[in-house]
């Protein structure tokens, strides 16, 4: 049925996890709707979905209305800047969750058979693989397990390709529309750009036809305002019967970028400037508008703390590189990942470059961040009755006293040990506090954090002791002699 190579590509990885659902708020839209995402990386079906996506990927570029990205769209507009008509865009409401799964899988199987005629997997088993990656997906949300029964989930490598291929199949019905059709029609997944040489009434009739093709797929219409229309981070404007393109920034844009004083490699900050300037050059349709954008970047990066001389030098190098033709050389590319620890990491990278010093070898360094304090407090999903490997707290009824401790055995076990001290067995800071001050302890434990690693649990205990002492106005006491964070 499948070759050993295909099996290795599709089999679940060791230690695969259950996908987790979360939501991203669309802050640029009214009422702040959310975008559901099911993170499937390293899940049991991830490798299978990735392999199926690889088989389907060549079919995307073969779709006539296909737009690769913002740069591809800007290029198309520049090449057709004399087209007359009314600009408008269509957006599919919640495309991923409303894709008719069976129809999308039928389309995908046809495309795979057409692109890979030597594939040994038959249609029946191919369909089973698609179901395994879609409507048989189990995921976790808010510590509860759910099954996905329809649609495709954003967060899977297969989802955007299935959605795109289904939309292409749906668009083939446009030929059956008897009214006025758009003279320009381009689509990026669920966003469609059109130019209509007709009236607004004719556009509305076309949208009505599109909304009646499939009950679950509904389009919303946006028509140009003041001869302007945003699409894929590109603002298209009609000026003197000519279409011009420029960079579009959403109303929620604050101009906040990576600060110059942030603990990041210097070349990352320089490359951020280069990236934005190069992006602007590829999108803008005139040099005059591009130079205006460069002035905007100068002011915005100075606001983010970038030195003026660095800004001028970097932007100048971008302007020179645009006109300069790069010579093509056969060089070997080597990528080295290095943890970033400030200047010492940069010095190490420079020393390695000097040691190699070979014109045929291009060494690129990628600096990765080390462990952060936030990673110590990452949420862990566990059973509600599992209170092992925790940092816990007890409060005093009669004062601001607050005991903080950690245990790998469980809160109930430690509670019994603390109580036994009142009967003369062992030693406990809680008993010492209550007996010396004639106070009463609240034996309802607060689970402050969960951590299975012993070293990290000790670190968290010290950090929480300091937090409750300074920020929450508690008289913290513990089995520890000191709050000092000393783990080495």
Per-residue model confidence as pLDDT tens digits over 247-269: 999 888 889 999 999 888 888 89
Q: How many residues belong to the chain?
A: 488
**d(Cα 451, Cα 477) in Å, to the nearest integer?**
21
Give the pLDDT score at 355: 85
Which residues sit opposite 475 in a β-bridge?
401
**d(Cα 425, Cα 298) in Å, to the nearest integer?**
71
Give the pLDDT score at 167: 92
**d(Cα 25, Cα 279) in Å, to the nearest integer?**
26
State the average pLDDT over residues 39-66: 90
Cα 397 from chain centroid? 46
Against a cut of 0.75, is the pTM above it? no
**d(Cα 22, Cα 37) in Å, to the nearest integer?**
5
Half-sphere exposure of 146 (CA within 13 A, CB side): 16
Question: In this predicted structure, which of 133-142, 277-286, 362-371, 405-414 has the lowest mean pLDDT?
Answer: 362-371
Give the pLDDT score at 487: 41
Give the pLDDT score at 267: 86
Higher per-residue pLDDT: 388 or 73: 73
Q: Please give the structure tokens belonging to residue 152.
A: 């495709």
Instruction: Label the pairing between strands 361-368 and 401-407.
Output: unpaired
Q: What percent of the chain has pLDDT over 90?
A: 39
Q: 4-229, what's its fold?
A: RNA-directed RNA polymerase lambda-3 (3.90.1850)
**pLDDT category of residue 483 using cuts at 50, 70 and 90:** low
Contact 138, 21 (CB under 8 A): no
Check whether 276 has a pLDDT greater than 90. Answer: yes
Q: Chain-wide mean pLDDT for the chain? A: 86
Q: pLDDT tens digit string along 428-467?
A: 899 889 999 999 999 988 989 888 888 888 888 888 888 8
What is the torsion angle, in degrees rounded to the nearest 10, for the CA atoms of residue 277, residue 280, residue 285 and residue 289? Answer: -70
Check whether 51 has a pLDDT greater than 50. Answer: yes
Higher per-residue pLDDT: 486 or 350: 350
State how far the alpha carbon of 476 is from the alpha carbons of 113, 396, 404, 434, in Å: 68, 10, 7, 14
């Amino acid at each position: 049925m499948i070759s050993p190579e295909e099996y290795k590509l599709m089999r679940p990885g060791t230690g695969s996890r259950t996908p987790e659902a979360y939501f991203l708020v669309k802050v640029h839209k009214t009422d702040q709707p959310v975008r559901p995402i099911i993170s499937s990386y390293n899940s049991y079906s991830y490798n299978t979905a990735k392999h199926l996506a690889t088989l389907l990927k060549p079919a995307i570029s073969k779709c006539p209305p296909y737009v690769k990205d913002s740069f591809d769209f800007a290029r198309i507009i520049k090449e057709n800047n004399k087209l007359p008509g009314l600009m408008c865009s269509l957006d599919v409401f919640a495309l991923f969750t409303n894709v008719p799964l069976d129809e999308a899988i039928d389309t995908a199987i046809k495309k795979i058979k057409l692109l890979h005629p030597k594939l040994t997997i038959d249609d029946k088993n191919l369909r089973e693989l698609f179901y395994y990656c879609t409507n048989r997906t189990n995921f976790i949300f808010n510590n509860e397990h759910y099954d996905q029964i329809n649609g495709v989930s954003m967060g899977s490598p297969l989802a955007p390709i299935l959605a795109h291929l289904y939309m292409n199949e749906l668009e083939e019905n446009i030929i059956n529309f008897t009214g006025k059709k758009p003279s320009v029609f381009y689509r990026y997944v669920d966003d469609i750009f059109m130019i209509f040489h007709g009236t607004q009434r004719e556009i509305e009739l076309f949208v009505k036809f599109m909304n009646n093709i499939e009950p679950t797929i509904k389009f919303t219409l946006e028509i140009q305002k003041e001869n302007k229309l945003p699409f894929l981070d590109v603002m298209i404007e009609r000026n003197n019967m000519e279409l011009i393109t420029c960079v579009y920034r959403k109303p929620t844009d604050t101009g906040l970028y990576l600060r110059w004083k942030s603990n990041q490699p210097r070349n990352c900050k320089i490359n951020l400037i280069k990236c934005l300037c190069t992006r602007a050059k590829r999108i803008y349709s005139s040099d005059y508008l591009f130079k205006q954008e460069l002035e905007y970047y100068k002011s915005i990066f100075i606001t983010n703390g970038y030195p003026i001389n660095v800004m001028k030098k970097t932007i100048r190098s971008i302007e020179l590189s645009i006109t300069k033709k790069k010579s093509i050389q056969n060089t070997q590319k080597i990528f080295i990942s290095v943890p970033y620890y400030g200047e010492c990491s940069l010095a190490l990278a420079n020393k390695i470059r000097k040691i190699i010093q070979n014109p045929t070898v291009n060494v690129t360094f990628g600096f990765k961040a080390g462990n952060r304090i936030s990673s110590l407090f990452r949420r862990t999903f566990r059973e509600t009755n599992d209170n092992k490997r925790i940092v816990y707290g007890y409060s005093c009824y009669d004062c601001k006293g607050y005991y903080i401790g950690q245990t790998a055995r469980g809160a109930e076990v430690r509670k019994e040990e603390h109580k036994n001290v009142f009967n003369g067995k062992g030693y406990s800071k809680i008993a010492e506090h209550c007996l010396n001050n004639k106070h009463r302890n609240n034996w309802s434990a607060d689970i402050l954090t969960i951590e299975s690693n012993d070293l990290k649990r000790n670190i968290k205990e010290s950090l929480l002791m300091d937090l409750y002492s300074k920020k929450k106005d508690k008289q913290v006491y513990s089995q520890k002699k000191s709050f000092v964070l000393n783990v080495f």
